[in-house]
Amino acid sequence: MAPKVTIVMPVYKVEQYLPSCIESVRAQTFTDWECILVDDGSPDGCGAICDEAARRDERFRVVHRENGGLSRARNSGMEVARGEYYVFLDSDDAIHPRLLELALKEQASHPQSLITWRFTSDPDLWDQPELDFSDYTTTSYPRQRLLAYFANRTLFNSADNKLYPRDFILEHDLWFDPEAAYHEDYVFFTAFWQAFFRRWPQGDIRQIDLPLYFYNRSNMTSITHTDLWSDPERDFSDYCADQLRQFGEMRDLFAPLDQHPAADLLPIMTAPLNSIAYGLCKVDHPHREICRLWRIPELREISQWHRRHRVHNAYLFFLRLRWAGGLRWWWNVISEKHSHIFYTVYHLGYRNILKP
C-alpha cells in the first residue's frame, strides 16, 4: 500500500548532520510516510548512514547515484516516490515531529490550498514552552495576495516548506531544472504556483504560522550550498544579469505593479540589489560588470522606482556611483556579523514608504 507522504531527501557531504535529520523524520507523529534518501555520490560516510537507516526502518529507501547536483538528486527521489504528497527536506536540516500531522490536517480541511509552514534557524526554539504547537493560526494568501507571500523571499523561494500534491506535479510535468544555474527552487515553485492557480483560481497558499522546519545555516558543504555558493569553479559572469531577468519575470507576473501598494513591492525592488551585490563580490572585474548592468532596462527601472518613492538603498547608491570598492565594502560590513548596521540603515531608508 502506498504511503500518504514521500519525503525526498538529497544527501551530500552531511555526515555530521545526517543522523539527526533522519531521526527527525523517524520521530514524526504521523507515521504513514516513506523517505527517499538520495545519496548524490557523497564522498564521506553518508551512503553507509543511508543504508543503515533503510535496514533499521523499511520506510526509508535509498537511491545511490553519481554526483549530479541538487536538482537531479531531487528529481531522482521524485521519480521513485509512491506517496500522495511530496515534502522536500535538506539532509543537514530537521523537521518538527508534528510537521506532517499538522500539514495533512490543514490539507484535509482546505483541499484547494497549497499548505506551507515557517522556518527557524534557532535549534532551541522548539523546546521553548511559550511556543504552543497545539494552538496555532494559519495565514491565507489567495492569488490576489500572492505578492504579500512573495514579500518573504525565504518562504516563497524555498522548496522545503511546502506540501506538494504528487499527481498534480506529474500531471503538469514539473521537475527541478538541472540546467538552472541559480535558484532552482524559485524556478520550480514559480512554475508550480502558476499551474496551481490555473487549476484552482479560488485556491490559496495557506501558511501554518509555526516554525516547523529547522534550517541549518552552519553547514556550507551540503548539497544546497555546494551547487553554487561554495564551488570555486562556478562562473558568476551572468549571475547579476540573471537576477535582473528574474526581477523582470516577477514584475510581469504581478503587472501592473502600480496597482500594488509600494510597501508590498519593496521585496521585489530590493532583493535583486542584494543579490547583485553578492555577485559583484565574485566576479573578476566588478566595475566593468556594473557598467554592463546599467545597460539592462530592469536595473534602470529599479533605480527609478527607488527615486520616485524616496527609498534609500546603500547598494543602489554605490551602483549609481559605479563604485565597486564601496559596494564590496558595504557587503562585507553587513556580512561580518554587523547586521545591526544593516537593519538600522534598512529602517531609515524605508521609513518614508512604510509610514501610514
Per-residue DSSP letter, 259: G
- The confidence score (pLDDT) of residue 46 equals 97
| pLDDT tens digits along 6-46 | 999 999 999 999 999 999 999 999 999 999 999 999 999 99
C-alpha 150/C-alpha 285 separation (Å) is 32
87 pairs with which residues across the strands? Answer: 7
| Residue 290 predicted with pLDDT over 60 | yes
C-alpha 139/C-alpha 115 separation (Å) is 10
C-alpha 29/C-alpha 33 separation (Å) is 10
C-alpha 151/C-alpha 268 separation (Å) is 7
Distances (CA, A) of 133 to 21, 115, 144, 341: 20, 16, 29, 34
Binned at pLDDT 50, 70 and 90, residue 131 comes out as confident
Per-residue DSSP letter, 151: T
Angle between helices 324-335 and 286-293 (to 10 degrees): 100
- The confidence score (pLDDT) of residue 134 equals 78
The string of DSSP codes covering 48-83 is: HHHHHHHHH-TTEEEEEE----HHHHHHHHHHH--S
Angle (CA) 282 237 181, round 5°: 95
| Residue 58 predicted with pLDDT over 90 | yes
| Residue 96 predicted with pLDDT over 90 | yes
Q: Which residue has the higher pLDDT, 220 or 126?
A: 126
Q: Which residue has the higher pLDDT, 257 or 335?
A: 257
Q: Cα-atom radius of gyration of the chain, to the nearest Å?
A: 21
C-alpha 347/C-alpha 203 separation (Å) is 34
| pLDDT tens digits along 171-218 | 999 999 998 756 778 789 888 988 999 999 999 999 999 999 999 877
Q: Are 68 and 38 in contact (CB under 8 A)?
A: no
Predicted structure pTM score: 0.79
- The confidence score (pLDDT) of residue 307 equals 94
Q: Which domains does the chain have, with CATH numbers?
A: 5-223 (3.90.550.10), 235-354 (no CATH)
